[in-house]
Homo-oligomer: A and B are copies of this chain.
């Protein structure tokens, strides 16, 4: 019981360390020093480092309670997507942690429940609701994994320069007109919202064609 509390405290400290210095900075030795115990003491609370990482994921996703759904399935999915997007921005290492293996703890399913209920209410058949939800999930996590949180001027220069210096016989389109547009698409809120609309519009199109087939 108090062991469980201590476990939580240590996982919290690990999350703080990881948020501050990045996932690579998290070592058992360093965490132990931070917490003020011998390295091997940690192994009394976590069987392995993997076990610790799972606890960090749970702590990071802990506080999340999705807002009660309002509006149609589009608005519900949009809200869940933005919630996750914010959460991943708050804990940038979460996406790396979830890459290692899928997370199946209850905490990870709260948004899923809301989104899936909204999709079923919206008229998606169950099998397609699951597929549809997964596409949204992938989009939000891909943004966190591959996009910049914001596109800085330096980044713009770097990407634009790389694109502009491609051999223009092999890359006529990219060199001629795209360097700055390409840079702008590498991250930022506007890009996130654009892609969110693309996914939601695509789901709406799927819904129309599957209900046409069904009815």
Contacts and interface: CB of A to CB of B under 8 A. Distances in A.
Given A99-B99, A138-B139, A191-B131, A163 B126 contact: no
Given A99-B99, A201-B202, A203-B198, A113 B177 contact: no
Interface in A135-157: 135, 137-139, 141-143, 145-147
A166 interface: yes
Nearest to A209: B201
A194 B205 CA distance: 12
8 contacts: A112-B174, A113-B171, A131-B184, A135-B195, A135-B199, A141-B145, A142-B142, A202-B205
B195 A201 contact: no
Contact of A126 (B126, B131, B141, B181): B181
A166 B171 CA distance: 51
B113 A170 contact: yes
A195 B131 contact: yes
A206 interface: yes
Interface stretch (A25-33, A71-79, A102-110): A102-110
B131 A194 contact: yes
A139 B141 contact: no
Contacts of A129: 178, 181
A10 interface: no
A104 B159 contact: yes
